[in-house]
Amino acid sequence: MFLILKERFRQGYNTSDFPLKEPILSDRFAGLPKIMGTCKDGCDICLELCPTDAIKKSGDAIDIDLGRCIFCDLCAKECPEHIIKFTSQYRLSSNNRNALFISKEVENIGFKLNKKIQKIFGRSLHLRQVSAGGCNACEADLNVLGTPTYDLNRFGINFTASPRHADGIIVTGPVSLNMKDALLETYNALSEPKIVIASGTCAISGGIFKNNDEVCCGLEDILPVDLYICGCPPHPYTALHAMLQLMGRI
């Protein structure tokens, strides 16, 4: 026991100062994309490269659906005009699906605070995580939130084992057909009022599995979603910021 306490004191205080201070992210982190111009006539390189059809083109203007984007940044690397740039902005959540479309004119994700959710869940939020056919990347980064660096519990947010003890569910994965009934049963086991969070591109739209016969292409046509967290997978700070934003804490 003495050796354990000694080692703990040696390690010191490891919890980040977020949200009081901005997090330091890796230079390799690909965050919110920025569209800095218009396409050259006849150039469809970005459309051809995008594995999830997240990019749409109208004339010489393009827009990106962050609900489909997997942030692979192939479009930015291969664009001959360097129109698309992935920034280090980690704030990638919204409670409005239509706000996830980014264009040259719309560069920020919109979020409108739900006063009812803030009033009920603003001080404490218990979530049941449902892995609905995911690859475990989103699940792993949500699990990281329980480590000392992020310390999710200090904000009154906890993951619980039973949906009957939860205020809502946070879903990852494209919702495979084998998981659909289990997901719906979990949702129905929640007490009212309840919230639904779609975490990651797969949960929002199906991601790279979109249009596959074995998946439901995310939550869009299955459950009412209160919060969309973009990313493939979402960075832990992205997920933490999103949940605090939903609670009205930031």
Flag whether 174 is in a domain.
yes
Tell me if 118 sits within 8 A of 159, measured CB to CB: no
Flag whether 129 is in a domain.
yes
Give the integer Cα–Cα distance in Å for 215 and 210: 7
pLDDT score recorded for residue 113: 77
Beta strand residue intervals within the chain, DSSP E: 33-35, 55-58, 61-65, 84-86, 93-94, 101-103, 125-131, 157-159, 168-172, 195-199, 227-229
Do you find a cis peptide bond into 193, omega within 30 degrees of 0? yes
Flag whether 49 is in a domain.
no
pTM of structure: 0.91
Query: For residue 106, is it left (φ>0), alpha (ψ between -120 and 50) or beta?
Result: beta
The answer to whether residue 120 scores a pLDDT higher than 80 is: yes
The answer to whether residue 217 scores a pLDDT higher than 90 is: no
pLDDT score recorded for residue 101: 93
- Looking at residue 222, its amino acid is I
Enter the tokens of residue 5. 């306490």
In order, the DSSP letters of 57-119 are EETTEEEEETTT-----HHHHH-TT--EEE-S----EES-GGGGEEESS--S------HHHHH
5-51: per-residue pLDDT in tens?
A: 777 777 777 889 999 999 989 999 999 999 988 887 778 888 888 99
Flag whether 161 is in a domain.
yes
Mean pLDDT of the chain: 90
214 pLDDT tier (thresholds 50, 70, 90): very high
Structurally, how many domains does the chain consist of?
1
pLDDT score recorded for residue 195: 94
Full residue range of the structural domain in which residue 126 is found: 115-246
Q: Which residues pair with 125 in a beta bridge?
A: 157
Give the integer Cα–Cα distance in Å for 188 and 165: 13
Flag whether 193 is in a domain.
yes
CATH number at residue 160: 3.40.50.12280
Percent of the chain with pLDDT over 70: 99
Give the integer Cα–Cα distance in Å for 1 and 201: 44
238 pLDDT tier (thresholds 50, 70, 90): very high
CA-CA distances (angstroms) from residue 223 to 34, 174, 208, 212? 30, 13, 20, 19
The answer to whether residue 201 scores a pLDDT higher than 80 is: yes
Enter the tokens of residue 191. 């007490």
Q: What is the mean pLDDT of residues 103-113?
A: 79
CA nearest neighbour of 220 among 47, 248, 211:
211
Flag whether 126 is in a domain.
yes
Give the integer Cα–Cα distance in Å for 169 and 204: 14
pLDDT score recorded for residue 235: 96
Round to the nearest angstrom and report the end-to-end CA distance of the chain: 39
139-155: per-residue pLDDT in tens?
A: 999 999 999 899 999 99
Q: Which residues pair with 55 in a beta bridge?
A: 64
Flag whether 56 is in a domain.
no
Q: What is the mean pLDDT of residues 206-234?
A: 92
Flag whether 181 is in a domain.
yes
